Structure 1
Amino acid sequence: MHGRLTGIAGLTPGYFAGVMATGIVSIGAQLKGLVLLAGVLFWVALGFYAILVVLNVWRFVAYRDYVSDDFRDPARAFGFFTFIAATNVLGAALVGTGRTTLAAGLLTVSVLVWLVLGYVIPWTSVLGNQRRPMLDTANGTWFIWVVASQSIAVVAAGLEPVYHHLRNELAILAVFAWSVGVVLYAACAVFVALRVMLYPLEPRHLDPPYWVSMGAVAITIVAGARIVEMEDAPMIDVTRDLIAGLSVVFWAFATWLIPVLVAAGAWRHFIHRLPLRYVPTMWSLVFPLGMYSVAGIYLGRADRLPVV
């Protein structure tokens, strides 16, 4: 019992990445017509999500000091954004199977949490943190902030065909979240690049969350492709061509990143012989690969690019 309680106290904020990974593979299977596999993975993801919600609520109530420490730790705090992304990955899967009412509910929850955490986490972990310098704590988990933003755009765009009376509002939300995500990616990329260039980089530092740098681009592509497919609305009309073009650019960049990340993994595990063992952050590797596959499907369809 004591060990179980200790495990809950030390629960990693980014554990919802497991739901993200399972959910996106389910969506990819659904798009490829593998209905049975998609259904099984969806229910696994949903069960995983429910368990994590219960455990995290327990942790917030019973172990507030641990949670507070996580919010102040710039190397861990951005992992809380995985809750938003996981919620919307499930929402996107529900949209794909016609369960739009539940998807709309999940979107509402995620937007509210996003609006709060989007200001709280940068302040508690970085801006309001007395620790200086701060750049040496930047890592791949910072890109989860981008993933959370873009996941909102994906679900908002997916719900638009069903909620015609909210077309303008959903268009504004989708474009707003997509745009914020793009700017956040640029900011996170600068911080992480500076950390890599200015501070020693050891094999243990290049952990799986660095793959989120590619996954964040991939979900930006998915969100862009879904926005391009939305019906005419004032916000869509003025941004459709821009988003369509940038989505192709982002796809090229995401594709370019994959060999870089594979090489980094080889440098970490084969050259420096760092043991390959399971850690919770391993889920951060699965999600980007699944999202990249889904991004190619959506982008090729939206922009009529069979090669993608």
Structure 2
Amino acid sequence: MTALDRTIRGLAPAYFSMVMATGIVSIAVNVEGLHRLSAVLMWVAGIAYVVLILLNAVRLVRYRHAVATDLRIPQRTFGFFTLVAATGVLGARLVQDGYLTAASILLVVTALLWLVLGYALPPLAFTAREGMSQLERADGTWFLWVVATQSVAVLAAAIQPHVTVGQAELALLAVLCWAVGVFLYVAVALFVASRIFMHHPAPDQLGGAYWIAMGATAITVVAGANIGAMADVPVLSTVRGTIEAGSVLFWAFGTWLIPPLVFAGYWRHVRHRVPLRYDVSLWAIVFPLAMYGVGCHQIGSVNDLPLLENLGLVEIWIAIVAWVLTFCGFVASLVGRRPRLMPRRAPSRP
């Protein structure tokens, strides 16, 4: 078996998080006015998306058993939702450059994938038998269900003001997905919080995936801001104020989550010396950072709060740095070197 075959067979379902992270960083730097850099990142995201689609198609045909195994492992099952979110985020970036036809096609794909996977994947994760209780299976990847749902709302709301036909239907779809995403967040948060407090994760389990909890709040904020900016249609008259208020609450909770997540990283990598090296979960940190920056900027703009706008711009630059470091780690992993930023724990003496 060649190295490429081994890579395809072991390809993580969550690798579309690379497209998610690159796409939202592209949107974020566009907010900063760095249009050329944004365009480059958009193409990187698009190329990565196509390559991952092809690799996963080959994997499905040649290594069907590996895909079936992923569907039986809860920590990998929810990773398939990154395909939904990546499609939605890439479509939202295309809207910024006026590619409405391509974005509309991606909206249809995103909505269909969300509908199918949203009903198929969670039951597989909940009923998997691997010697663990259902509660012990819950981790940060479960929030990808929320992110995928809100990605439909983000893209539908982004397209709606730019079309003349179907505005009411797009608004209804955006509102529906935003509301479903909110309820899913509450449900998933209860599961994950219970798992953390009742079955304490080991240091090697408390990885980047838990940052998706903050990323889910951030994309909820961005979806709400996009809905608030939609063209007026009847369905918005009754829910716009509620969604705008809810978005502020999610921004507040997401902001509150940042210090515990940073401390968890310190506890994992400094206190317990877990090596900090590239793996796919690092994209799950880049995505929330960039999405939070965009959300802060949008809330600040809508509510005339320069403090939040400036906070968003700072966060965007942090996300850019995080993306560069993670991408360098990705490239190094492709050429056979896995960069380690923290040394391994020294073996204890007898």
Task: Tell me the TM-score normalised to structure 2 length.
Answer: 0.86
Map 1:138-287 → 2, pairs under 5 A? 138-287=138-287
Q: For residues 164 and 307 of structure 1, what CA distance do their matches in structure 2 show?
A: 35
Deviation at 1:72, TM superposition (A): 1.6
* Equivalent-residue separation in structure 2 for 1:228 and 1:146 (angstroms): 20
Q: Is the 8 A contact 1:13 1:79 kept in 2?
A: yes
Which residue of the partner structure matches residue 24 of structure 2? 24
- CA distance in 2 between counterparts of 1:242 and 1:303 reads 15
2:307 is aligned with 1:307 = yes
Q: Which has the higher contact order (CA 8 A, sep 6+)?
A: 1
- Structure-1 separation of matches of 2:294 and 2:244: 16
Q: Which residue of 2 aligns with 1:129?
A: 128
Tell me the number of residue pairs that the alignment of Structure 1 and Structure 2 aligns. 307
Of the two, which has the highest radius of gyration? 2
Describe the SS at the equivalent of 1:165. coil
Alpha-carbon distance in 1 for matches of 2:102, 2:270: 45
4+ residue runs of structure 1 moved beyond 6 angstroms?
none
RMSD, matched Cα:
1.1
Partner Cα separation in structure 1 for residue 62 and residue 303 of structure 2: 50
**Residues 137-170 of structure 1: CA deviation (Å, up to 9, x unaligned):** 1111110111111111011011111222201100
2:79 alignment counterpart: 79
2:88 maps to a residue whose letter is N
Whether the aligned pair in 2 keeps the contact of 1:140 and 1:213 (CA below 8 Å) is yes
Deviation at 1:31, TM superposition (A): 1.1
Quote the residue 2:15 is aligned against: 15
Distance 2:302 2:84 in 1: 25
Which residue identity does 1:36 align to in structure 2?
A: R
Where do 5+ consecutive residues of structure 2 fail to align? 309-350
User: CA–CA distance in 1 between the matches of 2:246 and 2:103?
Assistant: 27
- How much has 1:116 moved relative to structure 2? 0.3
Deviations 1:173-194 (A, max 9, x none): 0000101111111111011011
1:178-223: CA deviation from partner (whole Å, max 9, x where unpaired) = 0111111111101101110111321111100100000000000000
**Counterpart residue number, 1:43:** 43
Instruction: Write the deviation string for residues 96-126 of structure 1: whole angstroms up to 9, x where unpaired.
Output: 1111110000010010011000000011221
1:184 and 1:252 map into 2 onto residues whose CA distance is 18
Q: Secondary structure at the match of 2:166?
A: helix
Percent identity of paired positions between Structure 1 and Structure 2 = 50
Q: Which AA in structure 2 matches 1:159?
A: I
CA contact (8 A) 1:85 1:151 kept: yes
Report deviation, 1:63. Answer: 1.1
1:1-34 residue CA offsets vs partner (Å, 9 max, x unmatched): 5221121111100000001111111101111110
Structure 1 counterpart of 2:329: none
1:265: Cα distance to partner?
0.3
Q: Which deviates further from its counterpart, 132-141 or 115-124?
A: 132-141
Residue 306 of structure 1: how far off its partner (Å): 2.7
Structure 1 residue 130: deviation in Å?
Answer: 4.0
Corresponding letter in the other structure for 1:241: G
- Report if the CA contact (8 A) 1:225-1:303 is conserved: no
